[in-house]
């Protein structure tokens, strides 16, 4: 058990710290949502990329620092310590870039990874649909190939962060409806400025629009827009989701969800810090955050030994969201109605119920851990081996029965 830096890591930390000390005067504020702020955040990501701090774990040939997860953690810690924002395009650099590196063609990597890294081109993730979330393989957005190898794309995506800033999206579409649903999907790179793409903001509980809906109306994609094999998109998507869960499960501290920060908030009302119930609730919440921190160190040790993060990371996500919900509730109980409009915590309360479903609902994650880690029998699957087109017909018949009609 050793949390100290090795001499090499300590030297790296010193380099990172001195780079940040020399550059932090260029950093924008952490919060803000106007266009000027976004532009400043993108410029700051470019600076971080120049300093080698934006894509620590990407291979050097694609502009990354070619280092490991420990160095990434050092960078996260030092950015937090310096009190400056991190990169703007976490989804691109953290999840979609690694997916391209794993599955993309050399041409795609050469074309896209550079501008993604510098935030000249922001990316968005186009997976979820109104009828395909937990059951992601049920996506209905269709892509059909023309004789010249180009594709026509139609359908709708939803819960798309950063689509309003994005130049490109990584999109999962159905390319074959006559095979079981996991087998007829393909991953594509889609230019958001292509004719027929429409982005509409989607407001949430807080009133803010952190997400979008994206519509595709007969959008033409050039030949070679697919990432990985045609009809092999499910495996590509799994790579992205693995990076997503690790990012959310290990990223809580980066969002400011930390025991010490909530302790500071409680001090706003010194009387509450002597109240037995408040202390008990806070002790329980803080313990979950502490457990997350040290679970993170355990996962990093595995990563460093070359083990791939598995389903256990899903439990970290469950704990993160539960603890953040409880923390927001506690702080707002202490602050009273004022808390709901407090800029630090009001949004936390409003955003959390929705975030519970991000990266897989709690229920789906518990199924996954139960089956893959504990080896419990899988949920009964009524869709196994059935071609997607038949499945859709079956769904329509089911609905008719439930609505009181007769089966077709």
Partner 1 sequence: MNFALSDEQEFLKEAARGALSRFGTVAAARDALDGAALPDLWPTAVEAGWPGLLVSEDNGGAGLSLLEASLVFEELGRVLASTPLLGHLPASLLLDRAGAGDLVAALAAGATRAAFVPARPPTDLGEGWSADPALGLTRGPAPAYAGGRLSGTVAWVPDAPGAEHFVVVLDDGRAAHVLAADARVEPATIYDVTRALGHVTFEAVPATLLELGAGDTAAAWYVAQALLAAEAVGAIDVALAASVAYAKERHTFGRAIGSYQAVKHELVEMLRGLDNARSLMYYAGWAAQSEPDELALAASAFRLAAGKAFDHAARAQISVHGGIGATWEHDAPLYFRRAQLSRRLLGGTAGAADRVAGELLTTARARNAAAA
Binders of partner 1 among residues 36 to 95 (CB under 8 A) are 70, 73
Check the CA dihedral 359-119-113-307 and report its sign.
Answer: negative
Is the Cβ–Cβ distance between 56 and 75 less than 8 Å?
Answer: yes
DSSP letter at 309 equals: P
Q: Check binding of 378 to partner 1 (CB under 8 A).
A: yes
Picking from 27, 42, 50, 32, the residue whose alpha carbon sits closest to that of residue 165 is 42
**Cβ distance to partner 1 smaller for residue 5 or 329:** 5
DSSP per residue, 59-125: -GGGTS----HHHHHHHHHHHHHHT----S-HHIIIIIHHHHHHHS-HHHHHHHHHHHHTTSSEEEE
Q: Check binding of 376 to partner 1 (CB under 8 A).
A: yes
Q: Check binding of 35 to partner 1 (CB under 8 A).
A: no
Q: Check binding of 399 to partner 1 (CB under 8 A).
A: no
Stretch binding partner 1 (CB under 8 A), from 77-85, 269-277, 386-394, 399-407: 269-277
Q: Check binding of 369 to partner 1 (CB under 8 A).
A: yes
| Least gap, CB of 40 to partner 1 (angstroms) | 27
**Cβ distance to partner 1 smaller for residue 166 or 324:** 324
Both tokens of 35, joined, read 């266009």
Among residues 78, 244, 253, 347, the one annotated as catalytic is 244
Q: Check binding of 380 to partner 1 (CB under 8 A).
A: yes
- Please return the burial class of 404, using the count of CB atoms within 10 Å of its CB with bins 0-12, 13-18 and 19+: exposed
C-alpha to C-alpha distance for 81 and 101, rounded to whole angstroms = 30
Give the CA radius of gyration of the chain.
Answer: 23
Q: Check binding of 366 to partner 1 (CB under 8 A).
A: yes
Other beta carbons less than 10 A from residue 33's beta carbon: 9
Length, in residues, of the chain? 408
Q: Check binding of 12 to partner 1 (CB under 8 A).
A: no
The yes-or-no answer on residue 106 being catalytic is: no
Cβ-based neighbours of 25, under 8 Å, separated by 6 or more: none
Other beta carbons less than 10 A from residue 302's beta carbon: 15
283, 393, 398, 400: residue in contact with partner 1 (rule CB under 8 A): 283
Element (H, E) at 395: helix 388-402
Cα angle 310, 314, 317 (rounded to 5 degrees) comes to 140
Q: Check binding of 267 to partner 1 (CB under 8 A).
A: yes
Binders of partner 1 among residues 300 to 339 (CB under 8 A) are 300-302, 304, 312, 315, 318-319
C-alpha to C-alpha distance for 383 and 378, rounded to whole angstroms = 13
| Least gap, CB of 299 to partner 1 (angstroms) | 9
| Least gap, CB of 371 to partner 1 (angstroms) | 8
81, 220, 298, 399: residue in contact with partner 1 (rule CB under 8 A): 298
**Cβ distance to partner 1 smaller for residue 53 or 259:** 259
Q: Check binding of 279 to partner 1 (CB under 8 A).
A: yes
291, 382, 393, 400: residue in contact with partner 1 (rule CB under 8 A): 291
Beta bridge partners of 116: none
Q: Check binding of 284 to partner 1 (CB under 8 A).
A: yes
DSSP letter at 272 equals: G
| Least gap, CB of 301 to partner 1 (angstroms) | 5
Picking from 233, 234, 225, the residue whose alpha carbon sits closest to that of residue 190 is 225
Number of chain positions touching partner 1 (CB under 8 A): 57
**Cβ distance to partner 1 smaller for residue 72 or 175:** 72
| Least gap, CB of 333 to partner 1 (angstroms) | 15
Beta bridge partners of 161: none
Q: Check binding of 263 to partner 1 (CB under 8 A).
A: yes
The residues annotated as belonging to the active site are 244
Q: Give contact residues for partner 1 (rule: CB under 8 A).
A: 1-6, 9, 70, 73, 259-260, 263-264, 266-267, 273-274, 276, 278-280, 282-284, 286-288, 290-295, 297-298, 300-302, 304, 312, 315, 318-319, 363, 366-367, 369-371, 373-380
């Amino acid at each position: 058990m050793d949390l100290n830096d090795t001499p090499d890591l300590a030297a790296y930390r010193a380099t990172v710290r001195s780079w940040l000390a020399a550059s932090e005067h260029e950093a924008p504020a952490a919060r803000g949502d106007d266009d000027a702020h976004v532009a400043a955040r993108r410029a700051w990501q470019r600076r971080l990329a120049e300093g080698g701090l934006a894509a620590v774990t990407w291979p050097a040939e694609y502009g990354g620092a070619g280092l490991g997860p420990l160095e990434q953690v050092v960078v996260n810690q030092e950015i937090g310590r310096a009190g400056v924002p991190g990169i703007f395009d976490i989804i691109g650099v953290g999840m979609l870039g690694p997916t391209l590196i794993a599955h993309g063609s050399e041409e795609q990597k050469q074309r896209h990874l550079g501008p993604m890294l510098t935030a000249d081109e922001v990316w968005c993730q186009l997976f979820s649909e109104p009828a395909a979330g937990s059951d992601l393989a049920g996506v209905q957005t269709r892509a059909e190939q023309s004789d010249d190898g180009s594709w026509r794309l139609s359908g709708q995506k939803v819960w798309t962060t950063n689509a309003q800033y994005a130049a490109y999206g990584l999109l999962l579409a159905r390319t074959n409806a006559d095979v079981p649903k996991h087998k007829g999907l393909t991953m594509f790179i889609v230019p958001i400025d292509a004719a027929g793409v429409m982005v509409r903001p989607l407001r949430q509980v807080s009133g803010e629009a952190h997400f979008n809906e994206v519509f595709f109306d007969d959008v033409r994609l050039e030949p070679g827009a697919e990432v990985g094999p045609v009809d092999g998109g499910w495996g590509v998507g799994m790579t992205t989701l693995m990076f997503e869960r690790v990012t959310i499960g290990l990223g809580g501290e980066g969002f400011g969800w930390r025991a010490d920060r909530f302790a500071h908030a409680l001090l706003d009302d010194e009387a509450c810090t002597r109240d037995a119930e408040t202390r008990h609730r806070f002790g329980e919440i803080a313990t979950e955050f502490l457990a997350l921190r040290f679970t993170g160190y355990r996962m990093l040790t595995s990563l460093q030994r070359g083990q791939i993060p598995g389903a256990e990371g899903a439990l970290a996500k469950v704990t993160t969201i539960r603890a953040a919900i409880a923390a927001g509730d506690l702080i707002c109980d202490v602050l009273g109605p004022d808390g709901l409009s407090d800029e630090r915590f009001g949004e936390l309360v409003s955003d959390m119920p929705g975030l519970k479903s991000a990266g897989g609902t709690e229920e789906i994650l518990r199924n996954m851990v139960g089956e893959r880690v504990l080896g419990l029998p899988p949920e009964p699957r009524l869709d196994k081996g059935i071609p997607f087109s038949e499945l859709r017909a079956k769904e329509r018949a089911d609905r008719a029965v439930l609505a009181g009609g007769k089966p077709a």
